[in-house]
Amino acid sequence: MSDEAGPVSGDESIGSAVAAPTADLPLLIRYPGTRDALPRVPLAHLPTPVLEAPALAEALGAGELWFKRDDVSAPVYGGNKVRKLEFLLGDARAAGATDLITFGAAGSNHALATAIYGAARGFAVHSMLMPQPNASYVRRNLLAAQASGADLHMFGDGDASVRGGLRLKRKLATEGRVPFLIPFGGTNARSTAGFVSAGLELAAQVAAGDLPEPELVFVALGSMGTAAGIALGMRAAGLSSHVVGVPVVSYEANTTDNLLLGIIDAQAVLAGADPSFPRFAWAREDFLVATGFLGERYALFTREAMEAVGLAERHAGVHLEGTYTGKTLSALVAQGRGGALRGKRVLFWNTYNSRDIGELAGRGDASKLPKGLRSYFDQDVQELDG
C-alpha cells in the first residue's frame, strides 16, 4: 500500500511548521499502476526549484547554465537521498520492518539521511560504516547521525561492513525484530523510481517554461540510481536531453555498462508495475560518462573540485562540496573551458544537502562514538578542506 496521507505520528522532528511532504509524484500520476506496486513514504517537498546561473554560464562559455536544486528537497535535510528513501521506507513499512540497516563511508550523506528520516518514521536505524579521508563534513554528519539516534558501527572496509550488517540482521531477527537492509547509497531498482519521477518533474518544469529543455544534464555517479532514474524519466517524458555522469566513487564501478544496467533494471520494475510504462531500447551512446575527475580516491578532494565549489558559490550562490558535487562540476568546468559547451543549454543536478544541520550536529557527543569513529575528531582534516 502507498502512504500518501501526509505526516504520521513521530514526524514532529521533521518540522510541523512547514507544509506536509508532497503527497503525489508525476510517476504515480502518469503511471497509476506504480502506486500500489511501489509503496512510498512521502518525505520530499516537490518540485525542487530550478535556478539560472548566467554569470557562471558566461564564465564557462556555456550557452545557458541551470541548477536543479535538489539540495532543498526537504526542509530539515535535503539532497538526492530523500527521493530514494521515500520508496525504501515504503518497502520497509510494507515488510513490517522495525529496524533499518544501511551502509556507507564514515561521512555518508545517505547514512545520515536514513538516520534522520528513518527515526522520524519510527524505525531503529543502524549504520555500517567504513573509512574515508577525513573532512569537516564527516565530523558533522557523524554527530548529526548520532543525535538522530542512529546505532553507528565502524568496519575496516566495505566487505567487512556488509558482513557486519548481515550478522546484525540475524541477531535482530533472533530478538523478534524485523530488520530491513538498505544498500549502499540507497540505490536499487525500486528506489530509482524516485529519480524516474524526478526526470518527469523536470520535463513538467520545461513544459511550464521554468527553464528551456537542457541538452546536457550533469550529475554525479556514485551508486548510480540518481543518474539512471533521471535518464529514464527524461526519456519517458519525451525529452531528448542527455545525462553526463561523472564518476566520484571509482572508475571500476561507475562505468557506462553499469549505468546502462541500472536503467534497464529500473525500467523492468516500472513496466512490470504498470504495462503502459515504455520499454525503451538503450545503448551506450544514449548517455555520456565523463572520466578523469575522481582524483586519487573517493572522498579525497581535488584542486579542480574545490575551484569548482568556489565558482558555484561566487557566480551562482550555490553551495557544493568536494566529494560529489564539486568533482561533478569540475567536469562541467573543464568541458566549458575546452569549448565543448559553447551555445549549449546545460543543467547541473545539485545532489548535495544545503540545509543547515549545525544545530542537530551540536547535540551529538564525539566521546560516545565507537572508537574507530572517534578518530575523525582527533585527526586533522584533509589539506583542501575548508
pLDDT 10s digit of each residue in the chain, 386 long? 233 322 222 333 333 345 799 999 999 999 999 999 999 999 999 999 999 999 999 999 999 999 999 999 999 999 999 999 999 999 999 999 999 999 999 999 999 999 999 999 999 999 999 999 999 999 999 999 999 999 999 999 999 999 999 999 999 999 999 999 999 999 999 999 999 999 999 999 999 999 999 999 999 999 999 999 999 999 999 999 999 999 999 999 999 999 999 999 999 999 999 999 999 999 999 999 999 999 999 999 999 999 999 999 999 999 999 999 999 999 999 999 999 999 999 999 999 999 999 999 999 999 999 999 999 999 999 999 96
Same domain for 76 and 219?
yes
User: Is residue 357 domain-resident?
Assistant: no
In the prediction, which pLDDT does 5 show? 27
Q: Which of 168, 186, 204 is the last residue of a domain?
A: 186
**Which three three-digit cell numbers place residue 145?**
547521525
Same domain for 29 and 99?
no
- Report CA 156 to chain centroid distance, whole Å: 24
User: Is residue 371 domain-resident?
Assistant: no
Same domain for 70 and 209?
yes
Instruction: Report the domain count for the chain.
Output: 2
Same domain for 31 and 99?
no
pTM, full prediction: 0.94
Q: What domain range is 51 assigned to?
A: 22-80+188-350
Same domain for 282 and 200?
yes
In the prediction, which pLDDT does 6 show? 29
pLDDT tens-digit series, residues 298-344: 999 999 999 999 999 999 999 999 999 999 999 999 999 999 999 99
User: Is residue 171 domain-resident?
Assistant: yes
Same domain for 137 and 66?
no
Same domain for 35 and 94?
no
Same domain for 93 and 176?
yes
In the prediction, which pLDDT does 2 show? 31
Domain containing 259 — which CATH number?
A: 3.40.50.1100
In the prediction, which pLDDT does 102 show? 98
In the prediction, which pLDDT does 386 show? 65
Q: Which of 35, 3, 39, 6 is nearest to 21 (CA)?
A: 6
